[in-house]
Structure 1
Amino acid sequence: MPRGSYLHLATGVAEEFQCAPGPAGWRYVASGVDLTVDSRWRPARLQLTTSSWTLRGGSAGRELLWVRGDREHSAEALAFLGDSPAFLIAVARSLRLAPGESATAPLVQITGDSLATRTVTQRWTLVSAEPHPTDLGPLPVETWQATDLETAETTEFHLAGDVVLSAPGLELTRLDSPPNL
């Protein structure tokens, strides 16, 4: 069960996390973030908490449903996207791409302390998957790109199993056990 710490470079906030596969999917828990996905990596349950707001949500068929404050919202979308690396992992795994393949995904992006939401469409590409030597044997590391189709802004990040190794604005500062592959 991977556990460790990410540093959010823009805010200086450390995100202590642990994640693990479960009987029906995968779960990621950190301070203020609790994401559980089903066997298809769709959000079964999400709870985000800031000092002023709580957002709870999940998927129902092709839609995502969420409550922020006392208002209910819905959108036809694949997954949630936010500041936590949990979202990068869940979206990437839900797409089930082979190296060189791309997919377009409508996502509900959650931003800021107010947990504001908006629907975005992004093109996700699994650029490559390369084995990297470690003391425990080769570790497959994937290079991903996500491009916002409205702004054409592209971000690149690297995954190993269920751990984000690097991403813009994010630094993996500690990993106590290897990723689940």
Structure 2
Amino acid sequence: MPRGRYSLHDPHDHTPLGEEHFHCAPGPTGWRYVSQLTAPAGTAPAADVAHGAADGPSVTGSVDLALDELGRPVRLELRAADWRVRGAALDGITWVRTDPTGEHATEGNVAAHAFTGASPAFLVATSRLLRLAPGGPATRVRLVALTAPVLAPRTVDQSWALVARTAHDAGTGPLMVDEYQVSALDTGERYSVYIAGDVVLAAPGVELEDLDTPPSVFP
């Protein structure tokens, strides 16, 4: 069960956005990822300052994502500040978004394949869903994007291609690293994502800072 820490930053101006402390593991029916997000060092939400809790890392959100054996999201619970989204693959992609007061929940459903967002978990999830072959053609995928601070859903279209799979010496054996080329079809922006097993090694806005055990190998 890999356990580690990502640092997150704005991919354009590199402003620190915080850290994501995670653990994840494949199981007999799929894969699960759980994480807690904290504010950048030296900052704290106003609510924490008001309650005198600004000395330690301030929790700003969490991710709990479970995939089935085909890579489909069977359960998602995403939190950012007081906002919460619960969703799953059901007649496309279905979700319920709850506002900070808890009084007005809104439901949504679109013809899409999965969720995406700032968490590296969604990059692993999309790669598991597509199961691309190295050097094969690019595949188009429609995703529901949920990003902090309010987790408002937005449907996006991306193109994914697995351009290379390379073996690296990790000390305990070869580590297979997949290099994906991802294109945002609405803007034309193109970028690379590097994934080993169920861990993102590097991606725009994401850096792997700590990892206590090697990535899990999917069957």
TM-score range, shorter chain: over 0.9
- Which protein has the bigger strand share? 1
Pair 1:12–1:112, CA change in 2 (3 A): closer
Does residue 44 in structure 1 map to residue 74 in structure 2?
yes
- Match 1:64 to one of 90, 93, 96: 93
CA shift at 1:112, angstroms?
2.1
Does the CA contact (< 8 Å) of 1:81 and 1:109 recur in 2? yes
Does residue 130 in structure 1 map to residue 159 in structure 2?
no
Does residue 170 in structure 1 map to residue 206 in structure 2?
yes
Matched to 2:94, the amino acid is L
Higher mean alpha-carbon deviation, 10-19 vs 165-174, is at 10-19
CA shift at 1:148, angstroms?
0.9
Q: Distance in 2 between matches of 1:100 and 1:67?
A: 38
CA shift at 1:151, angstroms?
0.7
Q: Distance in 2 between matches of 1:50 and 1:169?
A: 18
Q: Where do residues 114-129 of structure 1 align in structure 2 (5 Å cutoff)? A: 114-129=150-165
Report the counterpart of residue 33 of structure 1 in structure 2. 63
CA shift at 1:60, angstroms?
1.3
- Match 1:83 to one of 112, 118, 125: 118
Per-residue CA deviation, residues 29-61 of structure 1 (Å, 9 max, x unaligned), is 001100000010100000011112000000014
Does the CA contact (< 8 Å) of 1:52 and 1:113 recur in 2? no
Three-state SS of the structure 2 residue aligned to 1:116 is coil
TM-score by length of 2: 0.80
TM-score by length of 1: 0.97
Matched to 1:85, the amino acid is P
Structure possessing the higher radius of gyration over alpha carbons: 2
Q: Distance in 1 between matches of 2:179 and 2:198?
A: 13
Three-state SS of the structure 2 residue aligned to 1:94 is helix
Report the counterpart of residue 3 of structure 1 in structure 2. 3
Does residue 96 in structure 1 map to residue 131 in structure 2?
yes
Provide structure 1 residue ranges, at least 5 long, that are not aligned to the other structure: none
Q: Distance in 2 between matches of 1:93 and 1:128?
A: 16
- Match 1:14 to one of 15, 19, 38: 19
Report the counterpart of residue 150 of structure 1 in structure 2. 186
Per-residue CA deviation, residues 2-37 of structure 1 (Å, 9 max, x unaligned), is 010000123341100000012211000001100000
CA shift at 1:93, angstroms?
1.2
Provide structure 2 residue ranges, at least 5 long, that are not aligned to the other structure: 11-15, 37-61, 99-104
Identity level (%): 48
Three-state SS of the structure 2 residue aligned to 1:89 is helix
CA shift at 1:117, angstroms?
1.1
Matched to 2:9, the amino acid is L
- RMSD, aligned CA: 0.9
CA shift at 1:179, angstroms?
0.4
